[in-house]
Structure 1
Amino acid sequence: MSESAAAARKAFGIRLRDMRKDARLTGRELAEATGMHPTKVSRIEHARQNPSEDDIRAWCIACGVARQIPEFIAVHREVGQMWVEHRQALRQGQRNLQAAGTPLYERTKRLCAYEAIVVPGILQTPSYVRELLTINAMLYGLPTDEIEAAVQARLSRQHLVTAGTGNRYSFVVESAVFGYVYGNAQVMCEQLDFLLTVTRLPNVALGIIPSGPARKVWGGECFYIFDDAMVRSDMWSGAFRASRPDEIAFFVKVFNLLREQAVYGHAARELIEAAKIRLQSGETF
């Protein structure tokens, strides 16, 4: 679990504990009033056990604040959505998982994305996507017979960038991304050619952080900000998601710092062209 998700669970447990104390109830008294075991009350308050929504309702009623039930359930759902395990999400299959994300992209008017290891998903070419989803299948033990359908599901949202629909896109990519070869040099060169095209789209700002200059902020896990309304960050075992204003504000701050280190336009195209030359010559990065 990410530090932010863990902190949110801990904070929620503290709020429940404070509610109990404000009601002048001991843990044992609350347990008796709700039908919970005293150990469960303690585990919930210390964020070692996740309460159910029925637990929260009973907790609020026992503390005499039934009017706060909707608020606490809403917060509980928000905390629960902050961390989604990949293995759980992938049970629905890679094709369904890719398709499920398309409506979010369709309703997003401004997307900001940072990537340090791969090209941003909505900018990936068919062969590049295919290689990444093949790795996913191997890594998480998924069937390979649906990879092609998953590729098409991801590509179905790319027109939002290329068709000039009015949506705005701001991407920041580490130059090291070009040194991670997925498939072979041909796959990578096709991907780089597409990025060259993207740099000239009027609704897209594609920034590349070159290696060498002193950093203002370190590189880290990727993240996507959707309309300043939700942030998503993918990691090895799961995905962090949040819609709390303070969480989003933090990621916006990080994105702006990263963006200040990036180069755009002609300078970005020079970095992409140089990466192509190295790939075609077999030179290592």
Structure 2
Amino acid sequence: MTFEPERLGQSRSDLAEALRSLRKRAGKTQAWLARRCNMSQTKVSNMESGKLAPAIVDVELILAALGGDDPAASKIRELVRTANTEWQDHWSSRRRGLDKKQNELARIETVTTEFRFFLLSAITGLLATPEYVRASIADAPGDQSKTIAKKLERQGVLYDASKSFTFLLTEQAVRWPLLPPLAMAMQLDRLASVSRIPKVRLGVIPLVGHISEMPLNTFTVYDRRLATVETGTGALILRDHRDVNAYREDFERYESYAVFGDECRELLYEWSGIFTRQRE
């Protein structure tokens, strides 16, 4: 399915109208539908007004209750997927302030227990040294101090024993020289240190041997309810369970190519040594 960013905001109202029309054609009230689907009338009302984007399971319950015909059901299923997809472009995020984006991420992290990070080309803020964080937003306009402070503050979530993290980094992500050699060596030492935190699994996919597939994007999966996919100009926020499950499956495949534990740390220390010698 092809997503058009300009349509993503409209899809929720289109879905609301389609659900409302389907119920009215069936001659049923919101109260009847709520009882039939074992949900509150307020929830039905919010879905039909566009205040709430329904999950696919909600839509399937509604379709089963109302007996929607195939063309109507197909249209609604397509709309619910788009309604559960959000586009966040980098320019809007920067206009609002990158520190506000950090607040959004912190809220997601508060309610998530299982994290999966696939890092294709750079090191995520949760793993970064202050120098790496600063370099990663060096081109952002305005005062960057709040954003840097909040990125570093978010790293505390790694020590929450109620949560688990798996980070997969490609060799390119680890070794891309965003910083001068000595600072890069310190960043790799930081990765090795984080890999020893309980409930954190950190793996590296080395550029050796044969890897039969080619990843295209950095992405993160939060539990089974949300996936974010980074592009060059923004990020897709995916909530439809089909999309989330697809990225979980991608993650599992890439995970099979990674090395963890002592083998991972040996690589990190080897690459850190290369950066250190570059300074000499």
Q: Report the TM range for the smaller structure's normalisation.
A: 0.7 to 0.9
- Return the match for 1:125 from 125, 129, 135: 129
Deviations 1:189-243 (A, max 9, x none): 2211111111212211111001111114312210000011100011111111111
Task: Report the CA distance shift for 1:56/1:225 in structure 2 as closer, same or farther (over 3 A).
Answer: closer
Worse-matched range after superposition: 79-88 or 250-259: 79-88
The CA distance in 1 between the partners of 2:242 and 2:103, in whole Å, is 29
Residue 53 of structure 1 aligns with an amino acid whose one-letter code is: S
Match of 1:257 in 2: 253
Distance 1:4 1:177 in 2: 28
Question: Distance in 1 between the 2:14 and 2:117 partners?
Answer: 37
2-structure distance, mates of 1:177, 1:59? 44
Structure 2: which 5+ residue stretches go unaligned? 31-43, 55-78
1:242 aligns with 2:238: yes
Give the TM-score taking structure 2 as reference length.
Answer: 0.74
User: What is the aligned length?
Assistant: 235
Select 2:225's aligned residue among 223, 226, 229.
229
Q: 1:52 & 1:221 partners in 2: Cα distance?
A: 26
Are the structure 2 counterparts of residues 261 and 54 from structure 1 closer, same or farther at C-alpha, using a change threshold of 3 Å? closer
* Counterpart-to-counterpart distance in 1, 2:86 and 2:8: 16
8 Å CA contact 2:20, 2:48 repeated in 1: no
The structural deviation recorded for 1:178 is 2.5
The residue type equivalent to 1:155 in the other structure is: L
Q: State yes or no: 1:277 paired with 2:237.
A: no
Alpha-carbon displacement from aligned partner over 1:54-78 (angstroms, at most 9, x marks no partner): 8954995599449688258325686
Query: What percent identity do the matched residue pairs reach?
Result: 20
C-alpha separation in 1, matches of 2:249 and 2:121:
21
Q: CA deviation at 1:100?
A: 2.4
The whole-number CA distance in structure 2 between the counterparts of 1:153 and 1:262 is 30
Counting only pairs closer than 5 Å after superposition, residues 161-180 of structure 1 correspond to structure 2 as: 161=158, 163-180=159-176
Partner of 2:166: helix, strand, or coil? Answer: strand
Residue matched to 1:84? 88
TM-score (norm 1): 0.73
| 1:44-102: CA deviation from partner (whole Å, max 9, x where unpaired) | xxx69946838954995599449688258325686354222221222211112212211
CA–CA separation in structure 1 for the residues paired with 2:15 and 2:185: 55
Maintained 8 Å contact 2:16/2:48: no
Given that 1:217 and 1:257 are in contact with CA atoms closer than 8 Å, whether structure 2 keeps it comes out as no
1:49 and 1:202 map into 2 onto residues whose CA distance is 40
Secondary structure (helix, strand or coil) at the match of 1:82 reads strand
